[in-house]
Homo-oligomer: A and B are copies of this chain.
Amino acid sequence: MIVVMKPGATQQEIENVEKRLRELGFKTHTIRGEVKTVIGAIGDKRLVKEHNLSQLPGVEGIVPIMKPYKLVGRELKKQDTVVEVGDVQIGGKKLVVMAGPCAVESEEQIYEVARRVKEAGATVLRGGAYKPRTSPYSFQGMEEEGLKLLHQAARMTGLKVVTEVMDTRDVELVSRYADILQIGARNMQNFRLLKECGLSGKPVLLKRGLSATIEEWLMAAEYIADAGNQNIILCERGIRTFETATRNTMDINAIPVVKELSHLPIIADPSHGTGNWKWVDAVARAFVAAGADGLMIEVHPDPANAVSDGAQSLQPEKFARLMEALKPIAQAVGREL
Contacts and interface: CB of A to CB of B under 8 A. Distances in A.
A283 B331 CA distance: 17
Chain A, interface size: which category? 35 or more
14 contacts: A29-B29, A32-B42, A33-B42, A51-B310, A52-B305, A136-B219, A168-B169, A239-B243, A256-B274, A286-B286, A286-B287, A288-B289, A289-B289, A328-B328
A56 B310 CA distance: 10
A182 to B, nearest CB: 15
A246 interface: yes
Interface in A32-66: 32-36, 38, 40, 42-44, 46-47, 49-56, 63, 65-66
The quantity of this chain's copies bound in the complex is: 4
Contact of A136 (B209, B226, B306, B332): B226
A68 B136 CA distance: 10
Given A186-B189, A213-B243, A328-B331, 12 more contacts: A2-B38, A29-B29, A33-B42, A38-B65, A50-B139, A52-B306, A56-B304, A135-B219, A215-B245, A238-B253, A242-B242, A246-B253
Contacts of A65: 4, 33, 36, 38
Interface string A179-203: 0000000110111110100000000
A12 to B, nearest CB: 15
A281 B289 CA distance: 10
B256 A279 contact: yes
A243 B169 CA distance: 33
A173 interface: no
A215 B7 CA distance: 18
Contacts of A250: 251-253
A320 interface: no
A139 B49 contact: yes
A18 interface: no
A132 interface: yes
Contacts of A256: 274, 278-279, 281-283
Interface string A229-251: 00000000011111111100111
Nearest to A334: B325
Contacts of A274: 253, 256
